A = this chain, B = another copy of it.
Amino acid sequence: MQELRIDLGARSYPIFIGDGLLSRADLVAGALAGKADGDTFAVVTNTKVGPLYLDSVKRALAGKRVFDVVVPDGEAFKTLATIERILDALAGERMNRDGVVIALGGGVVGDMAGFAAACYQRGVAYVQMPTTLLAQVDSSVGGKTGVNHPAGKNLIGAFHQPVCVIADTATLLTLPERELRAGLAEVIKHGMLADLEFFQWIEGQIERLLSREPDALAHAIRRSCEIKARIVGLDERERGVRALLNLGHTFGHAIEAATGYVGWLHGEAVATGLLIASDMSHRLGWISRSEFERVHALLQKAGLAREAPRIGVARALQLIGMDKKVRADKIRLVLMKPLGHALVTPECPAETLRSVLTAYFGAT
């Protein structure tokens, strides 16, 4: 087992990475010490993950009061209506302030269980038990929680840090191939935004990652969490540097919003977003053609070179305009200069943006 720490003062917490950790009750108990009594646990999961791992988690919590809340699977259900359903369940079980919510599942479950924990009784403790690569390398770490709104992805939510993150790498063995690839998009993103050496390592290990070799996956998760933990530790509430973690996400969110959050996995949309951000960085002269081509080649090898939907440049611009990274009505983008180093553009060259968007989303 590996252990990292995310440093946020009184809200600091450990990230555990290793094989078979879902059955380790001691990890939860240790993380809760001094924070909540931990007599009652609400395990929030979905119809796909529940049948696989709910029993293990419940066995590990033997002797405690445990109930589960099973929500439908998929980003389409990441809505306030589902949050209300989770809150109804917590209230229906009369959970009190010392109760603990466990998020058992991928990013969607984690975001919703975390947001419900943030709102219930004005905030109860919660534990992240991510079961997808995407959640293990990204969404379970850093305390962003929330749901989508027709006007924008993750438009409603809270910053609410978990008491610990337990990434059981054994869960990746049951992960559908497509979700594994989608998770790799965020791994690649971490290399692109902060660590060229890690990016090179991924280029060299991509076949081993795709064939789920445990040591390769464990290193990818650890290095991703290290990069994310360092940035979140500097800027918990995304007033500045944390925005760099959104590399590829402005474009990715536009794809997800345009398609109604169906048909595209989040990681797939981010991957196409990473390609667009690389192209934009190249057109501005900030990364070289060969760097752009390396990104393209790696995404292709990872099976992540999906074409953006032809929604037209006008609609794409509109969707980007509602993104949370907008400040003072100016569109600010996260780009690279050079590969391995992301930055937030002070303001966006409108003509370059328009031609890049036209190339990917079409003229009309």
Taking beta carbons and an 8 Å cutoff, which residues of A are in contact with B? 37, 39, 80, 84, 87-88, 91-92, 94, 96-98, 118-123, 144, 146, 149-152, 154-159, 237-238, 321-322, 324, 326-329
> CB distance B87 to A120 under 8 Å?
no
In chain B, what residue has the closest Cβ to A155? B91
Closest to A159 in B: B122
The answer to whether B156 touches A120, judged by C-beta atoms less than 8 angstroms apart, is yes
Q: Give A321 to B154 CA distance when docked, in angstroms.
A: 34
Since A122-B146, A122-B324 are in contact, a sample of 5 more A-B pairs with Cβ atoms closer than 8 Å, ordered by chain A residue number, is: A80-B87, A91-B150, A96-B327, A119-B146, A122-B154
Contact across chains for B39 and A328 when beta carbons are under 8 A apart: yes
Residue of B nearest to A91 (CB): B151
CA of A118 to CA of B150, assembled, Å: 19
A156 touches B94 (CB 8 A): no
In the assembled complex, the CB of A86 is this many whole angstroms from the nearest CB of chain B, namely 11
Q: Which residue of B lies closest to A87 (CB)?
A: B156
Closest 7 CB pairs of A and B: A91-B151, A122-B157, A96-B326, A119-B156, A121-B324, A91-B149, A37-B328
Residue on B with the closest CB to A150? B91
Q: How many copies does the complex hold?
A: 2
Chain B residues, CB < 8 A from A149: 87-88, 91
CA distance in complex: A152, B121 (Å): 10
* A97 x B324 contact (CB < 8 A): yes
| A96 and B329 contact, CB distance less than 8 A | yes
A147: nearest chain-B partner, CB-CB: B119
Q: Contact check, B156 vs A144: say whether CB atoms are below 8 A apart.
A: no
Q: Which residues of B contact A159 (CB under 8 A)?
A: 122-123
Minimum C-beta distance from A307 to chain B (A)? 28
Task: Please determine whether A151 and B37 come into contact, CB atoms closer than 8 angstroms.
Answer: no
16 contacting pairs across A/B (C-beta < 8 A): A37-B327, A37-B328, A80-B87, A88-B149, A91-B151, A92-B151, A94-B321, A96-B327, A96-B329, A98-B327, A119-B119, A119-B157, A120-B155, A120-B156, A122-B157, A122-B324
Q: How far is the CA of A321 from the CA of B93 in the complex (A)?
A: 12
